[in-house]
Chains A and B, each alone.
Chain A
Amino acid sequence: MFKFIKKRFFTDFKNSLRVGFFLALRQVKNSSKWTNFLIIGVMTLTFLNLVVVSGVLVGLIDGASNAVGKRFLKDIFISNLTEKKFILNTTEITEILRANPNVEGFSARYTEGGKIEANYKTKLRQDDIGDEVSAIFAGINPEDENKLTGIKSLLIEGEFINENDFDRVVLGSMLLDQYAKIESSSFPTLSGVGIGSKIRVKVGGYTREVTVKGIIKSKVDELDRRIFFPEKQFRNLIGRFDLNASEIAVGLKDGASPIEMKNYLNNLGFNEFAKIQTKEDAEPKFLKDIKKTFEILGNLISGIGLAVAAITIFIVIFINAITRRKYIGILKGIGVNARAIEIAYVFQSIFYALVGTIFGSILIFGFLKPYVDAHPINFPFSDGIIVATLSGTMMRVLVLFIATLIAGFLPARIVINRNTLDSILGR
């Protein structure tokens, strides 16, 4: 007879859901345009904050690691074993590489530590030292290198060296006063050196006077601290007549797997003469560390944004529920159960989160990300992009929804659980 006493939980819940949805719809529709506009604005900004801030932070480092990969390491980076100065049997390796259909190109580089001196002609006394800096000397085949890394596009002054140039070099910008990013005693720079300047290089026991032909500037410190010679002259200079290089950067064709290539080379036994690494292996450790730090930082900032959004929703729903206390009481008075009214408020907050997410997504994926991809943010060490993966974004959307859900539910519950009659009579 008294059907209500039998717990018809599911039909009850279904009805509550329906009534809750109905009430939420009417309330959103009839609430002030400005309120809706503001709440949706806050949710949109929160979503942007969630995705873009960490996306940019991670993107900066991704940009840096992209630059290192594009200009320096490429897909596979083969370098000398720690105890050797060069890669034994380099020619064997290069033959294999040349024959492999997955290899797009490679560049063998001969490197050696050395010193560069400038302004030695103007110094007053014999034993005064002019400007002197340490640098990594690299002998490269300009054509191979350019094909692989596009190094010529990094020129900011002068011209690039040719294969047959003699006593002409290209300098990385970090060696020069006018381009150095930071004044630091651990990285001294040369002052007054430009195109056509004569500098003195000391490498492999020899000292030579060479002319600066070009200057490059990249987002990769490693490159910007180098001095480039044509391979032919450089090998003579350091007495490396056996063609054994110190590093070989290998570019693979699109779709080829660097890991497979690495395993392939290892299986051929080349790991006995050289360190064979993928880009990820070879990436400087500090990049990985910064990436982790930035991720944490990004999540922290996102977390604060999330908290602000949750509190905003909480306050909005709380004020809404408090001002509508009488009507909540009446609804309960005529038999609408508390759950249905809670659901109405949860639906409202989810609606705001949803619309905010949609607007935010349109802004990010429709405008911001394509724009930044096309015009990377110009940071000293990176062309910053926004990293926003689908899965990462979904994760953030989920977190945002859960946060709004709770932020909508709690205040509604607090108000709804007040005594029905007190609510109706406003006591």
Chain B
Amino acid sequence: MIKATNLVKTFKTGDTKLTVLKGLDIDVKKGEFVSITGRSGSGKSTLLYQLGLLDHPDSGKIIIDGVEVSKLSERDRTGFRLMELGYVFQDYAIIPELTALENIMMPLLMKGFDMKKAEKQGREALSRVGLLDKQKNLPSQLSGGEQQRVSIARAIVHSPKIIFADEPTANLDAETAMVVMKTFLDLNREGQTIVMVTHEKEYADMTHRTLFLNEGILENK
């Protein structure tokens, strides 16, 4: 499903250069639930941005679902994200003027669903993360954990081929974190491919495979 080879990403700040990804390879099969761990600052988010088409690597090749995405135009990359990918950002990233339900409906509306159908499917996604009763709340009327769950619901609502989740449990208490993990595991059982970044061994151990990002490359654990 995902095959990335020889990814290199370097950041320049003033005179100092920091190469975060140093010829990294990753291969994720369809239906796999893969977790990526590593020290803070090791480049986990950076890697996920490259795979999620939010950033361009300096070099290397990324093939997702048979498409060499590095060659797509900016417009088509946006289209690809809409049709194929779901992304859970490290800090929820939901739109403040939209209610929980409306936030979740955005990808569907963009895909051309009519309002009714988008609402129905949006509610299903919300109930998956246990937030149906908060559908009319604005983000400011939701707790941090609830906002995180809205962002997860938004990432799964349009049945993407792959879900990328950057520390989806980081801001949640153990109980809520378990709800989120259970959601991911359920989805995975239904065939969903998931790549999740996490700090916590406990949650990493629930996935099929854990990769350790160290010195710019991935190691199996």
Which residues in A have some Cβ–Cβ distance to B below 8 Å?
A: 1-5, 11, 14-16, 18-19, 22-23, 26-27, 29-30, 326-327, 330-338, 340, 420-421, 424
Decide if B76 touches A19 in the complex (CB within 8 Å).
no
Q: CB-CB < 8 A to A333: which residues of B?
A: 54, 81, 87, 89, 93
Q: How far is the CA of A5 from the CA of B65 in the complex (A)?
A: 13
Q: CA of A146 to CA of B110 in the docked complex: distance in angstroms? A: 74
A424 to chain B, nearest CB (A): 7
The reply to whether B87 and A334 contact each other, CB–CB distance below 8 Å, is yes
User: How many residues of B are in contact with the other chain, CB < 8 A?
Assistant: 33
Q: A337–B94 contact, CB under 8 A?
A: no
CB-defined contacts of A337 to chain B, threshold 8 Å: 75, 78-79, 82, 110
A-binding residues in B (CB < 8 A):
49, 54-55, 65-67, 75-76, 78-83, 85, 87, 89, 93-98, 102, 106-107, 109-112, 138, 154-155
| Chain B residues closer than 8 Å to A30, beta-carbon distance | 96-97, 138
A residues near B82, Cβ cutoff 8 Å: 4, 334-337
Please indicate the chain B residues that have their CB under 8 angstroms from the CB of A27 in the complex: 97
Which has the most chain B C-beta neighbours within 10 Å: A5, A11, A334?
Answer: A334
Please, could you name 27 A-B residue pairs with CB atoms under 8 Å apart, sorted by A? A2-B67, A4-B76, A4-B80, A4-B82, A11-B112, A14-B112, A15-B109, A15-B111, A16-B110, A19-B106, A26-B97, A26-B102, A27-B97, A30-B138, A330-B95, A333-B93, A334-B82, A334-B107, A335-B82, A335-B83, A335-B110, A336-B78, A336-B82, A336-B106, A420-B54, A424-B89, A424-B93
Q: If the complex has contacts A4-B76, A4-B80, A327-B95, are A334 and B112 also in contact, measured as CB distance less than 8 A?
A: no
Q: How far is the CA of A5 from the CA of B54 in the complex (A)?
A: 18
Name 5 extra pairs, CB < 8 A, besides A335-B79, A337-B78: A18-B109, A30-B138, A326-B93, A333-B54, A424-B54
CB-based nearest A residue for B109: A19
In the bound complex, residues from chain A placing their C-beta under 8 Å from that of B78 are: 332, 335-338, 420
Contact yes or no, B89 A15, CB < 8 A: no
Partner of A5, one of B76, B87, B110: B76
Q: Point out the residues of chain B lying under 8 angstroms from A330, CB to CB.
A: 89, 93-95
Interface of A is mostly: helix
Closest to A30 in B: B97
Q: Is the CB of B54 within 8 A of A340?
A: no
B45's nearest neighbour on chain A, judged by CB, is: A425
Closest chain B residue to A28, Cβ basis: B97
Identify which of A4, A327, A335 contacts B107 (C-beta below 8 A): A335
Q: How far is the CB of A266 from chain B (nearest CB, A)?
A: 69
What is the bound-complex CA distance between A326 and B97, given in angstroms?
13
**Nearest 3 Cβ contacts at the A-B interface:** A335-B82, A4-B79, A30-B97
The 8 Å CB contact of B83, one of A4, A16, A340, is: A4
Which residues of A lie under 8 Å from residue B75 when comparing CB positions? 337-338
Name the residue of chain B whose CB is nearest to the CB of A14: B112
For A335, the chain B residues whose CB sits under 8 A away are 78-79, 81-83, 85, 107, 110
The answer for the CA separation of A421 and B56 in the assembled complex, in Å, is 10
Q: Which residues on the B side are within 8 Å of A29 (C-beta)?
A: 97
**A330 CA / B154 CA spacing, docked (Å):** 12
Report yes or no: A334 in contact with B154, Cβ–Cβ below 8 A.
Answer: yes
The answer for the CA separation of A416 and B83 in the assembled complex, in Å, is: 21
Q: For residue A327, which residue of chain B has the nearest CB?
A: B95
For the complex, what is the distance from the CA of A4 to the CA of B73, rounded to whole Å? Answer: 12
Identify B106's interface contact among A5, A326, A334, CB under 8 A.
A334
> In the complex the two chains form, is B110's CB within 8 Å of A421's CB?
no
Residues of B contacting A336 in the complex (Cβ-Cβ under 8 angstroms): 78, 82, 106-107, 110
Contact A3 to B83, CB < 8 A, known contacts A330-B89, A337-B75, A421-B49: yes
A424 to B151, CA, bound (A): 14
Whole-angstrom distance between the alpha carbons of A3 and B80 in the complex?
9
CB of B110 to closest CB in A, whole Å: 5
Chain B: CB-nearest residue to A326: B93
Cα distance A340–B89 in the bound complex, in angstroms: 22
Among A4, A15, A16, A335, which residue has the most Cβ atoms of chain B within 10 A?
Answer: A335
Residue of A nearest to B75 (CB): A337
Return chain B residues, CB-CB under 8 Å to A1: 66
Expressed in whole angstroms, the minimum distance between the Cβ of A21 and any Cβ of chain B is: 10
A340 CA / B65 CA spacing, docked (Å): 26
Q: How distant is the Cα of A267 from the Cα of B106 in the complex, in angstroms?
A: 75
**Residue in chain A with minimal CB distance to B94:** A330
Distance in angstroms from A93 CB to nearest chain B CB is 76
**A331–B154 Cα gap in the complex (Å)?**
11
Q: How far apart are B160's CB and chain A's nearest CB, in angstroms?
A: 9
CB distance from B180 to the nearest CB of A (A): 18
Of A5, A11, A333, most buried by chain B (CB within 10 Å of CB) is A333
Output the least CB separation between A341 and chain B (Å).
10
Closest CB of chain A to B36's CB: distance in Å? 18
The smallest beta-carbon distance between A339 and chain B, in angstroms, is 9
Q: Tell me which residues across on chain B come within 8 A of A332, comparing CB atoms.
A: 78
In the assembled complex, the Cα of A16 lies from the Cα of B78 at a distance in Å of 13
A11 → B minimal CB distance (Å): 6
Which chain B residues lie closer than 8 Å to A19 at the CB level? 106, 109-110
Q: How far is the CA of A327 from the CA of B106 in the complex (A)?
A: 13
